[in-house]
Amino acid sequence: MIDEPEKPKLSVVAQNSQKEIDSQYAREEINWALTALAANIIRVVRGAGKAYELGRQCARVVESYQHFHETAGRWLRPDEIEDMLSLRYREPGGLTERAQEWSGAIQTMVQGSLQVAASQLLQQTTQERAGESEMFRGLEIIERQRDENRRAREASARTGRRRRKTEVDAL
């Protein structure tokens, strides 16, 4: 009779301490508060936000920062804040090179537009012009692709007409 191997004794070990879990929750709380405030400010600047919410949202951000500090024992680092507010586009997988270029161009235009808006608020004409240049770089890519698409459609239509004419002549 063969003895079965002894089963290992298993125990559950938590990878994160309660403090780490609480700190992560507090970080997510700041992320939401800060992102909601930033989005509303952008919308107010463009004339569509909820200006009446700004004070409450600002207070929520401050409360969230304080809660994180009390929980984690530190303030957020600048890179953590930048990550929360970054618009770095996360490209979905499986896009063609052309689709990636299109998405990148739109992101360039968005970045430039935000630069223009911020510069107009602060009356910084040099930075405003830099934002406009960035917008136009993205627009050039969009226009080039649209022109290429138009030419391809026209060529395809011409080929289709020739093919139909040949089929009719063959009858």
**Mind listing the pLDDT tens digit of every residue in the chain (171 residues)?**
455 556 556 555 557 788 888 888 999 999 999 999 999 999 999 999 999 999 999 999 999 999 999 999 999 999 999 999 988 766 667 788 899 899 899 999 999 999 999 999 999 999 999 999 999 999 999 999 999 999 998 888 888 766 666 665 666
Q: How far apart are the C-alpha atoms of 141 and 20, rounded to whole Å? A: 45
pLDDT recorded at residue 6: 64
Q: Compute the Cα dihedral for 88, 91, 92, 93 and give only its sign.
A: negative
Contact 82, 30 (CB under 8 A): no
Q: Where are the domains of the chain?
A: 17-86, 91-171
Provide the whole-model pTM. 0.70
The per-residue b/e assignment along 11-27, b for 16 or more CB within 10 angstroms, e otherwise, is: eeeeeeeeeeebbeebb
Contact indicator for 110, 139 with CB cutoff of 8 Å: no
Instruction: Map tokens 């405003």 to a residue.
Output: 128
Chain centre to alpha carbon of residue 43: 16
From 171, 43, 66, 42, select the one nearest 115 (Cα to Cα): 42
Provide the pLDDT for residue 168: 56
Long-range pairs for 159-164 at CB < 8 Å and ≥24 separation?
A: none
Question: In angstroms, rounded to a whole number, what is the distance separating the alpha carbons of residues 108 and 22?
Answer: 37
d(CA 152, CA 35) in angstroms, rounded, equals 42
In Å, how far from its chain's centre is CA 25? 22
Q: Which pLDDT score, from 0 to 100, does residue 75 have?
A: 94
Looking at residue 167, its pLDDT comes to 62
So what's the pLDDT on residue 94? 79
Contacts (Cβ under 8 Å, ≥6 apart) of 109:
134, 135, 138, 139, 142
* R_g of the chain, CA atoms, integer Å: 28
